[in-house]
Structure 1
Amino acid sequence: MTDYAHSDSASKSRAEKARRLAGYIWDRGITGAELLAMPPALRRKLARAAATNPPSTEETWTSVAQLLDDKDAWAAGHPNHAAAQRNHADEKLMWVKPPITPW
């Protein structure tokens, strides 16, 4: 019996899902560290907002976080490139709340 979860097809599917999620999340200015710090329920909601079924494994979320870090590094070196521009950075506050400063 074949174990689909460890097949080449499943690996390709996870990689495609990670890229799709990373594109949506990066465009909103969310970093890899911020993504991994999110509670699972919020990550699932974020995936649904990206029109993607939420990943069922932490491995996929870790891949997404790595892709976000890689894209941040690339964008820092190519600030004038069209792909380095975030078109929905204003939506970050919907997902990542800034720390509240005590009075």
Structure 2
Amino acid sequence: MWPQHKVEVYEQMVAELRSTLGEQAPNIPPRVLAELEGIIQAAVHTIENGAEIVAIGLPELEPESGPNVAAEAVGGSAVVEPVPVVAEPVAEPAPVKPAIDPFRHGTKAEANRQQKAKELARWLWDRNIGGEQVLGFTNKWRNKIARAAGVNPPSTLETWTVAAELMGRMEQLADSGTQPGASERHHLDEHEQWATER
């Protein structure tokens, strides 16, 4: 478990990042903004749902004591001379490499992620829910949206980020007017039901 002062600093950092992103949103490309929000959401999700943090590999600390001294008798009085204390070097543990999940990075996994992102993007587009908005939702609400869209909820934020990028492309098509049929929204009546988290 993190000490309280670290939790407070982390929460303050997230609030300041979100505030800065909100103020600078018009100047930041939507894709970059979506990626930054995705990073923040992933960190928040990890902190909220991850295992407790335990320090591993730290040496045991010895209790502090006064200086080591040797007393010698000189003419009936003691002369105190400090004895130097030499600390032994502590070997640092080797960094742990994260395990690579072959299923997450394979070509089939990438194709599945793209297909899932397309289905989510279409569902969200039909209800006029933007990419930045969906990345701001909690993981629980996004999972509810995925189930309503008939999609198995993605295990990472990566799929949602791809869906947000696809919706950004749809927005460009709608603005250009080159593909008016593709940019039609068919379920605007459900916007209020899904745009606000419950």
TM-score band w.r.t. shorter chain: 0.7 to 0.9
Aligned-partner Cα distance in 1 for 2:172–2:179: 14
Answering whether residue 191 of structure 2 is matched by residue 77 of structure 1, we say no
Distance 1:52 1:70 in 2: 21
Using the aligned pairs only, state the percent identity.
39
Say which is worse superposed, 11-20 or 79-88, in terms of deviation.
79-88
Describe how 1:30-41 pairs up with structure 2 within 5 A: 30-41=129-140
Distance, in Å, in 1 between the alignment partners of 2:182 and 2:160 is: 22
Report the alpha carbon displacement of residue 32 of structure 1 after superposing the two structures with TM.
0.6
Deviations 1:42-77 (A, max 9, x none): 100000000000111111111111111111111111
2:152 corresponds to 1:53: yes
Match of 1:89 in 2: 188
Q: Which has the higher helix share?
A: 1
- Which is bigger in relative contact order (C-alpha 8 A, separation at least 6)? 1
CA RMSD of aligned residues (A): 1.6
CA distance in 1 between counterparts of 2:178 and 2:132 reads 21
d(CA) in 1 for partners of 2:171, 2:133 = 13
Does residue 7 of the first structure (1) align with residue 81 of the second (2)? no
Query: Pick from 58, 62, 66: which aligns with 2:165?
Result: 66
The amino acid of 2:134's aligned partner reads L
TM-score of the superposed pair, with normalisation by structure 2:
0.46
SS at match of 1:83: coil
**Aligned letter for 2:168?**
D
Distance, in Å, in 1 between the alignment partners of 2:136 and 2:191 is 14
Question: Deviation of residue 5 (structure 1)?
Answer: 1.4
Report deviation, 1:81.
1.7
Q: What stretches of structure 1 of length at least 5 have no aligned partner?
A: 98-103
Structure with larger Rg: 2
Gaps of 5+ in 2: 1-100
Residue identity in the other structure for 2:155: S
Q: 2:124 aligns with which of 6, 25, 48?
A: 25
Aligned length: 96
